[in-house]
């Protein structure tokens, strides 16, 4: 349902519908009444960001990213920029780092540049405390805010995300179904996506009648060396586990390196599953089974959704894309 449907049903040009939507006086009362009647008949409500045609625009989109040196986010920026460019939009990039204060500063800076929309790449932009998200909710009254792999329910905020819960549930279920029951879960952060991944792991355990144990859920810093060290310390303290699942491939690399250093056979004695299916998961021997979170598809859908928003279409505030499990050697039982 969009401006084109209205134009067709009313038998007027798109430019005319656009003029009606924008309150342009240059339309006869009769035509205006007809367009409104068709919109009522079709149940068409233009969203607040409908541009119709010919409104002022800088044709520039702000992209915020917490860390472009992360391979996952670097790919996201690449795909977003390419897709926006194909629609004739420039991208102004801001690398914010993790602090809320910097995120807010850069956000305000982009607003002051009068960008047409702001895309937040990565789930790190949705904060745990509601009040910390209020600057986004407030701004979304003025311009569209697009979340790539985050979700914040508010008018004017459009989220495109991977179903991290189901992806992690599926991965854990594969381990459980093949007889592993002591699955160590390593994660890096309690972001929106991080919370969903952990919930998927827990739900899979519960559905298989296995108790969720706090000592098997451990946080560590996002690099192979930290993950390896964390696992070594856990093993040395007596923790027993027959599989490692991780919220990011870099941690899974650390798990493989731990197994090498202790002469533990993969996957016979220890199965390992990564997340994001990045190049890192293909660097180790054995190569690491991982979850393809469809970053390219997420980015393309985000930009497509934004163009529909500009177009006045009724678009869902949340689009969910399913992940794929990529079977490699670390779960080749």
- Interface residues with a copy of itself (CB under 8 A) are 60, 63, 67-69, 71, 74-75, 77-78, 81-82, 85, 90-95, 106, 113, 223-225, 250, 253, 256-257, 260-261, 279-280, 282-285
Using CA atoms in the order 6, 9, 14, 15, what is the torsion angle rounded to 10 degrees? -100
Least gap, CB of 91 to a copy of itself (angstroms):
5
Instruction: Return the SS3 of 258.
Output: helix
Least gap, CB of 63 to a copy of itself (angstroms):
8
**Which of 245, 256 has the CB closer to a copy of itself?**
256
Least gap, CB of 137 to a copy of itself (angstroms):
25
Residues 106/96, Cβ–Cβ less than 8 Å = yes
Q: Which candidate, 280, 257, 282, places its Cα nearest to that of 270? A: 257
How far apart are alpha carbons 94 and 73 in whole angstroms? 12
Q: Which candidate, 158, 58, 72, places its Cα nearest to that of 116? A: 58
Structure tokens at 244: 């490692």
Least gap, CB of 73 to a copy of itself (angstroms):
8
**Which of 184, 288 has the CB closer to a copy of itself?**
288
Q: What share of the chain is helix, strand, coil (3-state, %, to 5)?
A: 45, 15, 40
**Which of 166, 282 has the CB closer to a copy of itself?**
282
Number of residues written out for the chain: 333
**Which of 35, 266 has the CB closer to a copy of itself?**
266
Residue whose token pair is 């163009």: 307
Least gap, CB of 111 to a copy of itself (angstroms):
13
Residues 325/171, Cβ–Cβ less than 8 Å = yes
**Which of 79, 310 has the CB closer to a copy of itself?**
79
């Amino acid at each position: 349902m969009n401006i084109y449907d209205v134009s067709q049903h009313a038998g007027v040009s798109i430019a005319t519908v656009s003029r009606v939507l924008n309150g342009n006086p240059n339309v006869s009362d009769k035509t205006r009444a007809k367009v409104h009647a068709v919109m009522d008949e079709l149940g068409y409500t233009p969203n607040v960001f409908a541009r119709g045609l010919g409104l002022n625009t800088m044709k520039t989109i702000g992209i915020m990213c917490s860390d472009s040196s992360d391979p996952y986010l670097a790919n996201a920026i690449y795909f977003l920029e390419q897709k926006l460019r194909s629609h004739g939009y420039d991208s102004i990039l801001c690398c914010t780092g993790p602090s809320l204060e910097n995120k807010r500063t850069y956000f305000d800076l982009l607003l002051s540049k009068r960008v047409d929309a702001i895309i937040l790449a990565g789930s790190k932009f949705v904060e745990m405390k509601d009040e910390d998200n209020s600057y986004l909710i407030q701004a979304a009254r003025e311009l569209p805010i697009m979340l790539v792999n985050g979700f914040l329910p508010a008018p004017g905020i459009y989220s495109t995300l991977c179903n991290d819960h189901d992806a992690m549930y599926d991965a854990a279920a594969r381990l459980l179904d093949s007889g592993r029951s002591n699955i160590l879960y390593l994660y890096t952060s309690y972001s929106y996506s991080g919370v969903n991944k952990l919930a998927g792991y827990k739900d899979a355990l519960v559905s298989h009648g296995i108790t969720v144990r706090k000592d098997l859920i451990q946080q560590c810093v996002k690099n192979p060396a930290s993950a390896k060290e964390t696992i070594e310390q856990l093993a040395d303290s007596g923790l027993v586990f027959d599989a490692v699942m991780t919220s990011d491939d870099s941690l899974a690399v650390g798990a493989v390196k731990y197994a090498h250093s202790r002469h533990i056979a993969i996957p016979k004695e220890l199965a390992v599953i990564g997340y994001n299916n990045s190049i890192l998961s293909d660097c180790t021997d054995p190569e690491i089974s991982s979850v393809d979170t469809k970053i390219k598809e997420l980015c393309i859908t985000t930009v497509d959704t934004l163009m529909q928003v500009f177009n006045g279409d009724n678009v869902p505030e949340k689009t969910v894309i399913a992940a794929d499990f990529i079977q490699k050697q670390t779960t080749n039982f």
